[in-house]
Structure 1
Amino acid sequence: MRGGHGLARVAVVVRAGAAPLWWLGVLAAGIGLLPEGLTGRRIGVLTGAALFLLAAAMVCAARRKRYTALAASAARAGKHDVLQDRAVTARNWRRHHRWWLLLAFLAALGSAVAAPAAGGMLLAGCGAGLWLKAAWLGRREREGEALLWVRVDWLRGGVAHPAGKRVKAYRSTGIAAGDAAPGGARRKTPALV
């Protein structure tokens, strides 16, 4: 096949939502501590802590079997495939999800009327879960000595997911390809060419 595809790192797509969810959650939780709320601050914070742990665990564990199956059947990327930069992948994800992030932040703020800080801590837990999932993917990439990529055209649309129904297969490259380390973090040393 002569024509290649644009490829985005799976771990970078997963990790792209972690920072905005975490910081919006922390901000919403901080603002949410100002009102006393219906339950009181103490109960709100305790509820929020439980929601944080539950959200982090659920987000981290979600679709693991699907990720594992797609990774196991990943085909080698072709020489005509184009590897998308880490910054571009993260920017695209955040642009497509900006309204969802805003609505989640407003919902977390609004929930402070009932339970102070709980909604913000739930949001932060989702961000922490995405970081944990990206770290899990990074361990898989290191063990398999191959980075996982997904076609960019399968990620189009606001709710596209790197392990969603539209994704038919992953591609793989050597561990030094691209500008992101295993797990999607910024590479500390330049990639080998």
Structure 2
Amino acid sequence: MARGGQGLARVAVVVRAGAAPLWWCGVFAAGVGVLPAGLTGRRIGVLAGAALFLVAAAVVALYGRRRYTALAGGAARAGKHDVLQDRAVTVRAWRRGHRWWLLLAFVAALGSSFAVPATAGMLLAGCGTGLRLKAAWLGRRERAANALLWVRVDWLGRYGGRPAGKAVKAYRSTGVAAGDAAPGGARRRTETYV
């Protein structure tokens, strides 16, 4: 980065990056996990899984909102020498950094189905849903403030994904037309912002 510029990744994109892998791992694990009757039986497993899905989605969606709000409130304007990371690069970095954790969680969810069918898979899917809800909440904040939130890439940690972790000191902001991701971290539709 020339002249003191920093590499910046979108906060909402980092949050949203884990939503799809967790959701699909969870759905697949729950689908396969419903096949064995398990120790508790399918009905109890599915009901427990549904409850865990709702709890996980709520906890993940709400966890850390105060920290995100504080960092967003103190966001400084990004400098002209800062480099905005593409959405695809941010997502790829997160998924690469977490691939072994995702695989381990998937295997554990499948293995636990022999005790309580589908429960752990639905828990994973709930975590993915919670991340999607948190990214949507960030998107609403970005639209209301008319500014996108960015975090320094070197503060994201070894695995590329702690946008509100202890290492993060502050966010930076840009206008809503910056970068290739819309508010909330979704792919930008070319007709939305001109």
TM over 0.5: yes
1:146–1:159 Cα change, 3 Å? closer
What is the number of equivalent residue pairs in this alignment?
A: 193
Q: Percent identity?
A: 78
Q: Tell me the amino acid that sits aligned with residue 24 of structure 2.
A: W
The answer on whether the counterparts of 2:14 and 2:161 sit within 8 Å (CA) in structure 1 is no
The answer on whether the counterparts of 2:94 and 2:160 sit within 8 Å (CA) in structure 1 is no
> What are structure 2's unaligned runs of at least 5 residues?
none
Q: Name the SS of the counterpart of 1:2 in structure 2.
A: helix
TM-score by length of 2: 0.96
Counterpart for residue 82 of structure 2: 81
Counterpart for residue 28 of structure 2: 27
Farther off after superposition, 143-152 or 154-163: 154-163
Tell me the CA shift for residue 10 of structure 1: 0.1
> What are structure 1's unaligned runs of at least 5 residues?
none
Q: Tell me the amino acid that sits aligned with residue 88 of structure 1.
A: V
Q: Name the SS of the counterpart of 2:39 in structure 1.
A: coil
**Deviations 1:169-190 (Å, cap 9, x if unpaired)?**
0000001100000000000116
The CA RMSD over aligned residues, in Å, is 1.4
Farther off after superposition, 68-77 or 110-119: 110-119
1:47–1:67 Cα change, 3 Å? same
Tell me the CA shift for residue 155 of structure 1: 1.1
Q: Name the SS of the counterpart of 2:176 in structure 1.
A: coil
Q: Name the SS of the counterpart of 1:113 in structure 2.
A: coil
Q: Tell me the amino acid that sits aligned with residue 18 of structure 1.
A: A
Aligned-partner Cα distance in 1 for 2:112–2:68: 33
Counterpart for residue 123 of structure 2: 122
Counterpart for residue 55 of structure 1: 56
1:191–1:91 Cα change, 3 Å? farther
Aligned-partner Cα distance in 1 for 2:33–2:23: 15
Counterpart for residue 164 of structure 1: 165
Counterpart for residue 3 of structure 1: 4
Aligned-partner Cα distance in 2 for 1:167–1:50: 33
Counterpart for residue 174 of structure 1: 175
Counterpart for residue 15 of structure 1: 16
Aligned-partner Cα distance in 1 for 2:103–2:92: 16
Aligned-partner Cα distance in 2 for 1:84–1:22: 25
